[in-house]
Amino acid sequence: MLLKEYRICMPLTVEEYKIGQLYMISKHSHEQSDRGEGVEVVQNEPFEDPHHGNGQFTEKRVYLNSKLPSWARAVVPKIFYVTEKAWNYYPYTITEYTCSFLPKFSIHIETKYEDNKGSNDRIFDNEAKDLEREVCFIDIACDEIPERYYKESEDPKHFKSEKTGRGHLREGWRDSHQPIMCSYKLVTVKFEVWGLQTRVEQFVHKVVRDILLIGHRQAFAWVDEWYDMTMDDVREYEKNMHEQTNIKVCNQHSSTVDAIESHAQTST
């Protein structure tokens, strides 16, 4: 098991980002879903928890075989998917990833949002007070992203919002920018297979870090698209994006899911 805590600051408020994170996830998933790979939305509906209250539950299938490194493709079927389950009780969320072909693999992410610059060292005291972990700050303006994902229009150093006047972020922006919020993410990666555990867990954390950096950059760079939306607006946008994304992804995979699940049961 490898546990890390990521802290990603944004030039937004927690209340603003409630809309922004929903918009970003839907648009990003739609953009990444092509040629039969990407994200299929299986379920998206209101959910009530006795402790956290009202929220939203989503279940997705993430098809990503071509994005795996060669050593990983050698040990998994040609076509497979990771199951994502998420419980959104904003400003607290839980996300879990599992794979039927790899029963000893899982990712567990707990997220909390606060209006500060990542200064709360006790935010996960109830969840992981005594667990040793590395704290990693992610800077949406200054950290490098993989070249293939770079877009100048999504670079906070070059982008400036017309609706909010925020942008053109420079090194050290987190020390003085107002407003500012932080997305705190406690990420646990498990791959309990002897000989591969360390390599896989480190690789997965690298992928998670890249995804967090890219996603949060996009959420801010797209702020003028979602800033005036209400919750009803973004839920309608989310619904439309899910339908379009499913069409892109499911046409290729609708005939293979039963075979995939049958293969998983045989392997088990």
Give the domain range for residue 155.
Answer: 2-250
- 215 domain-assigned: yes
**Helix (DSSP H) and strand (DSSP E) numbers for the chain:** 8, 8
68-83 confidence digits (pLDDT tens): 656 555 655 556 688 9
- 9 domain-assigned: yes
14-29 confidence digits (pLDDT tens): 999 999 999 999 998 8
- 255 domain-assigned: no
- 33 domain-assigned: yes
**Residue 111 belongs to domain with CATH number:** 3.30.530.20
Reading the chain (268 residues) residue by residue, the pLDDT tens digits are 999 999 999 999 999 999 999 999 999 888 877 655 678 899 999 999 999 999 999 999 888 655 565 655 565 555 668 899 999 999 999 999 998 778 889 999 999 999 999 999 999 998 887 888 999 999 999 999 989 889 999 999 999 999 999 999 999 999 999 999 999 999 999 998 888 899 989 999 999 999 999 999 999 999 999 999 999 999 999 999 999 888 877 765 554 455 545 555 555 5
Q: Please spell the DSSP secondary structure of 113-138, one letter per residue.
A: EESSSS--TTTTHHHHTT---EEEEE
- 265 domain-assigned: no
What is the tally of structural domains in the chain? 1
pTM score: 0.88
If DSSP codes are grouped into helix, strand and coil, which group holds residue 155? Answer: coil
Give 88's contacts (C-beta < 8 A, 6+ positions apart): 55, 56, 57, 58
- 263 domain-assigned: no
Q: What angle do CA 241, 242, 244 make, to 5 degrees?
A: 65
- 237 domain-assigned: yes
- CA neighbours closer than 13 Å in the CB half-sphere of residue 233: 10
- 267 domain-assigned: no
If DSSP codes are grouped into helix, strand and coil, which group holds residue 94? Answer: strand
Task: List, in sequence order, every residue forming a beta bridge with 110; answer none if it has no partner.
Answer: 94, 186
